[in-house]
Amino acid sequence: MRTFETQIGRFKAGFSICHMLCVLGVFSSSFSLGQDSQRQRAQQFKATHDWTDPLTVPLVLSGNFGELRGNHFHTGLDMKTQGREGLPVLAATDGVLARIKMSPWGYGNALYLEGPDGITTVYAHLQRFAPKLQAWAVERTYAGRSLGLDAMPPASAGLTFQAGDTLGWSGNSGGSGGPHLHFEVRDTPSQHPLNPLQGWVTKSDSRPPSAPSWWLESERGLVSIPARGVDTVVVDGEIRISIEAYDRLDGASNICGIHRLDALLKDSVGDVLWKHRFGLDELNFSVNKDMNAHTLFPVWSRERDQVHRIHRLRGNRLDIYAEGAETGIVALDSGEVATLVCTVWDVEGNQTERILVLQGGQSTLTWANVESDLETPQAVSASETRTLSAPQAKLTWDKQTFFEPTTLGWRTDSTGMSAFVWPEFDAWRGKVNVEWALPSPEVVWGMSGAALPQDELPGSNWVAVQEVDGQIKNVVAAQVRAGAWHMALNQGGAWRMVRDTVVPAVIPYHSGTPIVEGGDAVWFVEDLLAGVEALTLTIGGQWARLVWDPKRNMVTYEATDGRHPSGSPVQVELKVMDGVGNTSAWAGTLIWP
């Protein structure tokens, strides 16, 4: 486990400057003004311009602004579409189409409508665009022969709309986990997402946030205790504190994010020792992945619980915080008492308060050490470029790869084919470059495809894989150079080297033909290790567009593209390549109706 940064002074002395700032009221001014200005901007916009909610069905949300997701804050609202695709999606404002995206990942099929007064609205995971938009996007894709599209239409394209016009139809494209509309409101000059529930979209919410547990962190590990209103816990040594907090909105059971958190640490006579505050009114895409430094990453990475640190890591660049507690370290002498009051709000102003009384003394808490013992440990500064030389490996990383000082280590097993890299449960902002020495062929003979023990290991098709409960969760391609595998790992934990020599599977939708009802041609494509990297379809020798849905392992040629003849045979070929260069193909003669 990493060690905390050195505490400057003891408990009261260390926070004397912070105490003075609190008394002077420095913390609250710009923070509260930012929240008020967002609502005023929405009110002024609606008083001047037309506004239409993007769906015509009753508004039910499965996700809200600022919710913790994957490795980022959620930047919009996920609006339920009653489990269906194909609902009309309406322009919220007058405007011109500033950007069109078609992708198998992320936002999928998405539209960016630039409206008046510096407001842009975004509509993502669409099934299909309105006809003039679809035609423009398809033609642009054919012109560039690209699998996806990310384009900014010129004014000459004439893609202008009025509030209430149909932009397209709701779907499940890209990284969507089910049919819904992802809707955003952005500040056009900065492209910063704004919280749509602050005056833009109206959603009733009478349920206060939940705050079920505290998390305490020390050099000994982590411990969770219930948060029931007022709790008392005896602690010794330096600790940092986090709290699990989330919201549920009216009409749905989905766990959503909170809007604001205020934390206040006071001593036994009521003097404020430090404050910590954040509010989710506006986000910045350039630093949005620093969410991993905002949440208690060891818990988030394993449990996906919405746990918020009540302190700010040194490398955290998010600008959602008011001035206040930085390290958030608490260290109490025996018998000394401090009280932490934490209040969480949702965007409608519903609030929940939790109080934690901390007393210095002999602690009986049972700490769980989330990191196993290190081998070849090396302390890592959060602001330096460093190299670690370990048995069979050399690791290098750039400054700012980690959010705070940590300890990095490496261990290789007896075969030389598996390794463990630390830290496993600290968030990585960047990647660690690994030069992993190839093991002796005799040690791994039979595991690598070599014909005889003395044969050299093959020099291609290697990947590093991570598994969770027997399922492959992470794959990184590796190159062989100068007797070593070279790769860039994106997280710690157990990795093993595997050769990927199996070509991707390509299967037509029906046993004899990929053509389905309506004229689309559909294939199933799958690669179990390196993953599908490239897809190319030709019809009569001419390139044709594909719509790729990795969630369902399906690729589709849409008959509406009109790149096929009707009633006469034509040669069709679909080529698929995985991430290490294995290729396969399906070829046949098709007759479209």
Quickly list DSSP for 254-272.
--B--SEEEEEEEETTS-E
Torsion of CA 106, 516, 139, 562, to 10 degrees: 180
Backbone φ and ψ for 574, nearest 5 degrees, come out as: -115, 120
Give the range among 20-29, 306-315, 481-490, 571-580 with minimum mean pLDDT: 20-29
Q: How far apart are CA 186 and CA 281, in angstroms?
A: 11
Residue 375 confidence (pLDDT): 61
Residue 471 confidence (pLDDT): 87
CATH architecture of 505-591: Sandwich (2.60)
Residue 106 confidence (pLDDT): 96
Q: How far apart are CA 493 and CA 473, in angstroms?
A: 12
Residue 36 confidence (pLDDT): 80
Q: How far apart are CA 478 and CA 463, in angstroms?
A: 5
- Residues ≥6 apart with Cβ < 8 Å to 159: 96, 97, 132, 133, 136, 153
DSSP category for residue 439: P
Question: How confident is the model over 86-95, as a mean pLDDT?
Answer: 98
Among 227-241, 435-449, 497-511, the range with the most confident prediction by mean pLDDT is 497-511
Give the range among 33-47, 160-174, 243-257, 543-557 with minimum mean pLDDT: 33-47
* pLDDT tens-digit map of 231-263: 889 999 999 999 999 999 999 999 999 999 999
Domain 378-499 listed as CATH 2.60.220.30: yes
Distance from the Cα of residue 77 to its chain's centroid: 15
Residue 6 confidence (pLDDT): 34
Q: Alpha carbon of 79 to those of 50, 62, 88, 123: distances in Å?
A: 21, 6, 13, 11
Backbone φ and ψ for 443, nearest 5 degrees, come out as: -70, -35
Q: How far apart are CA 559 and CA 547, in angstroms?
A: 11
Q: Are 285 and 191 in contact (CB under 8 A)?
A: yes
pLDDT above 70 covers a percentage of the chain that reads 90
Residue 22 confidence (pLDDT): 35
Cα–Cα nearest to 174, from 113, 88, 119, 111: 111
Cα–Cα nearest to 589, from 518, 508, 527, 495: 508
The tokens of 88 are what? 């009309």
Residue spans per domain, the chain: 11-34+205-360, 77-194, 378-499, 505-591
- Is the pLDDT assigned to residue 18 strictly greater than 50? no
Backbone φ and ψ for 536, nearest 5 degrees, come out as: -135, 125
Q: How many Cα atoms occupy the beta-carbon half-sphere of 455 within 13 Å?
A: 13
Q: How far apart are CA 248 and CA 125, in angstroms?
A: 23
The tokens of 141 are what? 């894709």
- Is the pLDDT assigned to residue 33 strictly greater than 90? no
Residue type, 254: N
Residue type, 296: L
Give the range among 26-30, 73-77, 133-137, 282-286 with minimum mean pLDDT: 26-30
* pLDDT tens-digit map of 361-402: 999 999 998 776 666 666 776 667 789 898 899 999 998 899
Mean pLDDT taken over the chain: 90
Q: Are 102 and 148 in contact (CB under 8 A)?
A: yes
Strand partners, 160: 96
Q: How far apart are CA 153 and CA 204, in angstroms?
A: 37
Q: DSSP letters of 172-223? A: --TT-SSSEEEEEEEETTTTEEE-TTTTTS-----PPPEEEEEEEEETTEEE
Confidence band, pLDDT 50/70/90 cuts, at residue 59: very high
- Residues ≥6 apart with Cβ < 8 Å to 20: none
Cα–Cα nearest to 509, from 491, 493, 495, 524: 524
Residue 453 confidence (pLDDT): 53
- Is the pLDDT assigned to residue 26 strictly greater than 60? no
Residue 449 confidence (pLDDT): 52
Q: Alpha carbon of 549 to those of 135, 220, 332, 448: distances in Å?
A: 20, 45, 55, 32
Q: Alpha carbon of 33 to those of 14, 27, 30, 187, 279: distances in Å?
A: 29, 11, 5, 17, 11
Higher-pLDDT residue of 530, 228 = 530
CB atoms within 10 A of CB 471: 7
Q: Are 361 and 334 in contact (CB under 8 A)?
A: yes
Q: Are 327 and 5 in contact (CB under 8 A)?
A: yes
pLDDT above 90 covers a percentage of the chain that reads 80
CB atoms within 10 A of CB 318: 19
Question: How confident is the model over 155-160, as a mean pLDDT?
Answer: 94
CATH class of the 77-194 domain in this structure: mainly beta
Question: How confident is the model over 196-222, as a mean pLDDT?
Answer: 95
Question: How confident is the model over 142-153, as a mean pLDDT?
Answer: 95
Confidence band, pLDDT 50/70/90 cuts, at residue 20: very low
Higher-pLDDT residue of 238, 25 = 238
